[in-house]
Amino acid sequence: MDMIKTLGAAGVIPVIVIDDIEKAVPLARALVKGGLPVLEVTFRTACAAEAIGKIKAEVPGAILIAGTVLKLEQLVAAKAAGAEACVAPGFDPAIVDAANKLGIPFCPGVATASELSQALALGCKMVKFFPAESAGGVKYIKDLLGAFRWTGVKFMPTGGVKLSNVGDYLAVPEIICCGGTWIAPKDAIAAGDWAKIESLAADAAKLAKELKSKNA
């Protein structure tokens, strides 16, 4: 998978935390139906790998990204379950190296110029800027780009991104997509309110499409 092309086409990536495996498929269906097919299933829960496998098998059109991949065993489990790429909130050169050897696209997290330099040195073309708002938001990314734009690096800000500010991020050409938990809130998942989640996904997908057309 061309990670940059696929995530860039989506614009907004729902970051989902699945505690109950029975909710994985209906949640994914709601998000895909709402227009957001690229889903980041985080390894914050024990059933993450199983959820990726179930969604891949039962939800046509869903593109699975494994999130919060911090350990080698998670990386291996994600690939075995069918994840097409992995992302992490931080930068660990050993995990980046392992992903390269396994042949799975990997997007490490960075929050400083030093981490970004190290990620680029290991061949990373795209990084997750986390926690985006707390680390300085759009202004900080623009400041980084003042020194790193020539490298061609692409960004995926996550953390504090929501419908009210996602447009500010996506207006920056090097920010190809944003990750967000607001699209699949915990209370809606717990209640099985798939209509609400589909509506939130549709709003995000519409905004991303409009912004991409405007910035093209």
Name the active-site residue from 56, 79, 128, 154: 128
22: annotated active-site residue: no
Name the active-site residue from 40, 79, 84, 154: 40
DSSP 8-state assignment for residue 158: B
Run of H or E including 66:
strand 63-67
**89 CB neighbour count, 10 Å cutoff:** 18
Question: In this structure, are residues 149 and 174 in contact, taking their beta carbons and an 8 Å threshold?
Answer: yes
Helix (H, G, I), strand (E, B) or coil at 33: helix
101: annotated active-site residue: no
Kindly list the distances between the CA atom of residue 25 and the CA atoms of 37, 41, 75, 163, in Å, as whole numbers in the listed order.
13, 12, 22, 24
DSSP 8-state assignment for residue 86: E
Question: In this structure, are residues 88 and 106 in contact, taking their beta carbons and an 8 Å threshold?
Answer: yes
User: From CA 48, how far away is CA 108, in angstroms rounded?
Assistant: 19
Residues 160-187: b if buried by 16+ CB within 10 A, e if exposed: bbeeebbebbbeeebbbbbbbbbbbeee
User: From CA 72, how far away is CA 63, in angstroms rounded?
Assistant: 22
User: From CA 2, how far away is CA 113, in angstroms rounded?
Assistant: 25
Active site residues: 40, 128
